[in-house]
Structure 1
Amino acid sequence: MASSRQQLVELLQQGVISPEHVADAEQLANVAPNKEQWQQFVNTVLLWIACISLSCAIVFFFAYNWSQMGRFLKFALVEFSLISTTLIYLKTPANNLVRVATLTLSCLLVGALMALFGQTYQTGADPWQLFFNWALIITPWALVARNSIIWLLWFVLLNITLVLYCDVHRNPFFIMFNTKVNTLWLTFAFNLASFSVWQFFSASQSWMQKSWLMRMLATLAGVSITGLAIEAVYKLDVINLLALVLWLISLVSMYYCYRIKKVDLFMLAGGCLSIIAVFIVWMEKQLGSFDNILNYIILAFFVLGLGIASAVWLKKVQREIKHEC
């Protein structure tokens, strides 16, 4: 069903509502946010800014006063902050935004504690271990909190872990051939698996049904497989041919799931962007040298043409959704 805003826009376009009655129509349709909604929005934004600022302030405080502070004082300050935020989380009623924000702050402080421990005792030279251990420690909190924001942090940490791990280990698990391709394959496999598992369990768990996290995971997987397809354009061998086939399968699957089965314009726009990126790289390879300004002009026209075609198609899909509603 179309939203109140969409219905109001359609009535205005059809001339049903005269211009002098637009303000009254907006008030009746409750389109414009009222005072309480604005206050709630501002409070939410300020709360998250405060949490992020506080976690950054603690890190910068240690960085600036590192030589003047003893190790026990450093650990005491971080642990006191971590315990304080955890206690606030436990004392805050359920389904409260402050509860989620304080637990997120606790998860960020765990990262500060891990960094402090590694810097103080020089536990290892591999930076991927910091992010892996960070994600490992906050896993119980993510399971208990059942919150998408904390899970997003968990997914980001593991993605960073994979990237840094491939940077240290040139051939992890004896797959593929170079660090760049290894990173793309691993991040694609991890994010695709995460997206599939999240999609499966979201059918029975209401807190997992927020579309923005699934879109983030799909974006991470899409960036990886698009990078592999671009790599295949430059060098088409057996492994890259497999990547190109997987890219095509991903596009077909995405079209079936988010155009035929259920419409999601964000996913469709991501697929269009992936196609444009790969096609433009292929065109750049076909044009060869860019010493001639004409090649730049040709490539620019292709970018504009594909972008316009994608926008027209997405607009058409959007209109079809409105008619179905």
Structure 2
Amino acid sequence: MRHRQCAAARRETRLDSWQSWYQSSRQQRALLRWAAQGHLDAAGLRTARAWVGDPPGAADWRRFWLALCGWLGVCLIAAAAVTFFAANWSAMGRFARLGLAEAALVLAAAVAFCAGRRWPVLASLALWLACALIGVLLALIGQVYQLGADPWQLFVLWAALMLPWTFASRQAATWLLFAAVAEIGLWLWADTHLHGTVFAVAFAAGNLLGLAAWEVARGRLAWLAGRNAGPRLIVLALLTGVSVLALPNFLVRAHGGWSWLVWLGCCGGLLLYFLRARRDLVILALVLLNVIVMVTVHLGVRVLDTTSDVVASATMLAVLVLAQAALAAKWLRSLGGNGAEP
């Protein structure tokens, strides 16, 4: 009984998603295989299965699909709002456009407020939709009054206005929306005011600050514990941005400043942190994939500059990619057996 209580407690604290279910099913299969091989007797198998916990049942899948359909629904509603105004732009006046957008925003906020603690899932969905509708309203204001719909000021203001609701939501999905909006605002601001290496440093610093804040909050906030999507998406955006900024260094020599040092520092820092402090195989795989792409691009340019045989060059690069991928997979597999997070 005590084992089952401990397993149930662990299931409550773990992320209720396909990831935890996959690990539970994988562990159950491993226990059955050990029992078939004679490494576990019947009593040991029962004890081990009690510690691991039961695989997902019908109620778990029902809750998962309801949540998935709910989040997909609010995303479609937000997209429908944008499409509605774009399709009926000439048929509506400025007050009709702004009035409908404001009414939709107020309605979403009212639903989130009325749902409250009684229907927490509905409240979270409505609050996320309200945060998305803030951006729609700001874009309409920019278009109606010819302020532009995509300057960095719009995204910064959008992030600032949704920040109080983001804190109130206590949902990783709302924080991901805030991070995406802030990411676009940071990129547009840096692209407007900064260039070259300074651009790369500012972009990397902003993303690393967001990643550090998420990692700290992840260890202190119970509702954020076990949520790995946020750090992984921030790392993906960081690596994509610094790679794009460093790409001229890999394509043309002595061009693009020292952005490649920023890229190298980000890759090294991410590998060090997520290998020593908190192992995350997905983030490590993202870093290795990014390194493989950049190294292949660099060597591919050098090979094409020195030879005119396209077939030989392509074969050489294919062998290089396969060798790098094999080494990366072997290393990640060795880490996977040492307790790294999936």
Structure-2-length-normalised TM-score = 0.78
Q: Which one of the candidate residues 160, 171, 178 is aligned to 1:154?
A: 178
CA 1:50–1:262: 2 relative to 1, 3 Å: closer
The answer on whether the counterparts of 2:171 and 2:223 sit within 8 Å (CA) in structure 1 is yes
Q: Which one of the candidate residues 29, 50, 53 is aligned to 2:76?
A: 53
**Structure 1, gaps ≥5 residues long:** 19-24
Q: Which one of the candidate residues 207, 210, 218 is aligned to 1:194?
A: 210
1:305-320 equivalent positions in 2, closer than 5 A: 305-320=323-338
**Partner Cα separation in structure 2 for residue 35 and residue 160 of structure 1:** 40
CA 1:139–1:295: 2 relative to 1, 3 Å: same
**Partner Cα separation in structure 1 for residue 199 and residue 309 of structure 2:** 33
One-letter amino acid matched to 1:153: L
CA deviation profile, 1:88-139 (whole Å, cap 9, x unmatched): 1111133711111100101111111112112212134763332222222112
Structure 1 residue 117 and structure 2 residue 141: aligned? yes
Cα displacement (A) at 1:268: 1.4
**Partner Cα separation in structure 1 for residue 168 and residue 185 of structure 2:** 23
Equivalent pairs counted in the alignment come to: 308
The answer on whether the counterparts of 2:248 and 2:256 sit within 8 Å (CA) in structure 1 is no
Cα displacement (A) at 1:69: 1.8
Q: Which one of the candidate residues 104, 120, 125 is aligned to 1:96?
A: 120
SS of the aligned residue for 1:203 comes to helix
Q: Which one of the candidate residues 225, 231, 252 is aligned to 2:248?
A: 231
The answer on whether the counterparts of 1:184 and 1:227 sit within 8 Å (CA) in structure 2 is no
CA 1:64–1:254: 2 relative to 1, 3 Å: closer
Q: Which one of the candidate residues 68, 74, 77 is aligned to 2:100?
A: 77
**Partner Cα separation in structure 1 for residue 275 and residue 233 of structure 2:** 18
**Partner Cα separation in structure 1 for residue 74 and residue 263 of structure 2:** 39
**Partner Cα separation in structure 2 for residue 107 and residue 125 of structure 1:** 17
One-letter amino acid matched to 1:40: R
**Partner Cα separation in structure 2 for residue 8 and residue 125 of structure 1:** 52
**Partner Cα separation in structure 2 for residue 151 and residue 112 of structure 1:** 18
Q: Which one of the candidate residues 3, 11, 16 is aligned to 2:36?
A: 16
CA deviation profile, 1:221-271 (whole Å, cap 9, x unmatched): 222333344433335559744x44444443443333222333211121122
The answer on whether the counterparts of 2:152 and 2:184 sit within 8 Å (CA) in structure 1 is yes
Structure 1 residue 106 and structure 2 residue 130: aligned? yes
**Structure 2, gaps ≥5 residues long:** 1-9, 11-19, 39-45
Cα displacement (A) at 1:213: 0.8
One-letter amino acid matched to 1:66: W
Structure 1 residue 134 and structure 2 residue 150: aligned? no
CA 1:126–1:47: 2 relative to 1, 3 Å: closer
Question: More displaced, 9-18 or 94-103?
Answer: 9-18
Runs of 4+ in 1 over 6 A off after TM superposition: 27-30
Which residue of 1 is the match for residue 232 of structure 2?
215
Which residue of 1 is the match for residue 26 of structure 2?
6
Cα displacement (A) at 1:32: 4.4
**Partner Cα separation in structure 2 for residue 5 and residue 279 of structure 1:** 37
The answer on whether the counterparts of 2:139 and 2:149 sit within 8 Å (CA) in structure 1 is no
Which residue of 2 is the match for residue 22 of structure 1?
none
CA 1:110–1:260: 2 relative to 1, 3 Å: closer
**Partner Cα separation in structure 1 for residue 79 and residue 99 of structure 2:** 17
Cα displacement (A) at 1:318: 0.9
**Partner Cα separation in structure 1 for residue 244 and residue 220 of structure 2:** 33
**Partner Cα separation in structure 1 for residue 171 and residue 149 of structure 2:** 32
The answer on whether the counterparts of 1:189 and 1:221 sit within 8 Å (CA) in structure 2 is no
**Partner Cα separation in structure 1 for residue 79 and residue 116 of structure 2:** 26
**Partner Cα separation in structure 2 for residue 292 and residue 126 of structure 1:** 42
Superposition RMSD in Å: 3.1
The answer on whether the counterparts of 1:128 and 1:165 sit within 8 Å (CA) in structure 2 is yes
CA 1:125–1:152: 2 relative to 1, 3 Å: closer
CA 1:187–1:250: 2 relative to 1, 3 Å: closer
The answer on whether the counterparts of 2:271 and 2:284 sit within 8 Å (CA) in structure 1 is yes
Cα displacement (A) at 1:44: 1.0
Cα displacement (A) at 1:79: 1.6
Which residue of 2 is the match for residue 297 of structure 1?
315
Cα displacement (A) at 1:72: 2.1
**Partner Cα separation in structure 2 for residue 126 and residue 96 of structure 1:** 33
